[in-house]
Amino acid sequence: MNVTKGDLALFSANSCLAYTELAKKISERLGVEPGKVQVYQEANRETRVQIQESVRGKDVFIIQTVSKDVNTNIMELLIMIYASKTSCAKNIIGVIPYFPYSKQCKMRKRGSIVSKLLASMMCQAGLTHLITMDLHQKEIQGFFNIPVDNLRASPFLLQYIQEEIPDYRNAVIVAKSPASAKRAQSFAERLRLGIAVIHGEVQDAESDLVDGRHSPPTVKNAAAIHPSLEIPMAIPKEKPPITVVGDVGGRIAIIVDDIIDDVASFIAAADTLKERGAYKIYVMATHGLLSSDAPRLIEESAIDEVVVTNTIPHEIQKLQCHKIKTVDISMILSEAIRRIHNGKFPD
């Protein structure tokens, strides 16, 4: 690739060598040697960063993948950003394929918008540009006062469907909830396939039952405020029985989403699709967090295959579950780095 190597520095902010694989692939594609840096934990668990080469006047790209110890990863990233800033780097670009705390991007009752806090911390530390992939909500880009490139993993997942799923023409794209219908529709239109939506799933943590919108004062409390004031009682939401809108009988079902973390909802969706006649079930997502005992649950479920990208490493999970497959997205990240460094920003 056409990259000016002299004024570009590429670092991995992960202290654990097992999580630097993506950084290695990106550096190989760019033809750039990874920068020399020490990132480690002191005996008291404090994070220490020592950049071991000059970054003065350079474009510094800091690659950070998120492991299970997410808070340590965040501190590693923040300290490395600040170390680059105090070492007079020209630009500091964070390459964070999975943006942590992205699920906490809405105001909950007596809660906070943590992804906004994290964005402010990164900008304050010295970040001048962010490269990420498939933000949980596009609105997160507005939390930054710097340019944000929110790249898409869908072309790689679509290619996997076309090349690795036999008879994919007999498939139907499935949204496991109405909230995922837009993403499913995008996949279906590109593949020219049908779509199905599962409705009536178990209420999840992101519902508006927890953000305060269901709680106007009761009539009794309203009367205490003013005798003539009448506010109608709130009617609690109740999920209807699980139904599948669309035909999945005798078809391959491909469930698409952006994040797979707690797999209970995906397993419940797979069971429902099996009952409706689907004979093979795939789950596809950009970010495979696969927390806790997710690999074991997937192995024992009706899901035939889980396909995720390497925005997060999955070596351990793949040893625990043979159904987990990984798609490499280092190509698009390295291309974004090349364009930003050369002054040609991604579309």
pTM: 0.86
pLDDT of 205 higher than 90 = no
Structural domain spans, the chain: 8-151, 154-199+240-327
Right CATH for 8-151 from 3.40.50.2020, 1.10.10.60, 3.40.50.300, 3.40.640.10: 3.40.50.2020
Residue 111 has pLDDT above 50, yes or no: yes
Instruction: Say whether 154-199+240-327 and 8-151 share the same fold.
Output: yes
The CA distance from 53 to 92, in Å, is 15
Summarize the confidence of residues 104-110 as an average pLDDT: 82
Distance (Å) of CA 334 to CA 10, 27, 342: 11, 8, 12
- Provide the 10 A C-beta neighbour count for residue 49: 21
Residue 79 φ/ψ, nearest 5 degrees: -70, -40
pLDDT for position 6: 67
pLDDT mean across residues, the chain: 87
Indicate the pLDDT class of residue 226, thresholds 50, 70 and 90: low
CATH no. of 154-199+240-327: 3.40.50.2020
The pLDDT > 70 percentage for the chain reads: 87
CA-angle at 299, arms to 295 and 302, nearest 5°: 125
| pLDDT tens, residue by residue, 34-74 | 999 999 889 998 999 999 999 999 999 999 998 778 999 99
Tell me: the pLDDT tens digits for 310-344? Answer: 999 888 889 899 999 999 999 999 999 999 998 85
Per-residue model confidence as pLDDT tens digits over 121-171: 999 999 999 999 999 999 999 999 999 999 999 999 999 999 999 899 999
Q: pLDDT by residue (tens digit) across 10-22?
A: 999 887 776 788 9
171-199 tens-digit pLDDT: 999 999 888 999 999 999 999 999 999 98
Confidence band of 32 (pLDDT split at 50, 70, 90): very high
pLDDT band at 346 (very low <50, low <70, confident <90, very high): very low
Residues 197-206, mean pLDDT to the nearest whole number = 66
pLDDT number for residue 343: 81
Res 110: pLDDT: 78
Buried b / exposed e along 290-308 (16+ C-beta atoms within 10 A): beeebbebbeebbbbbbbb
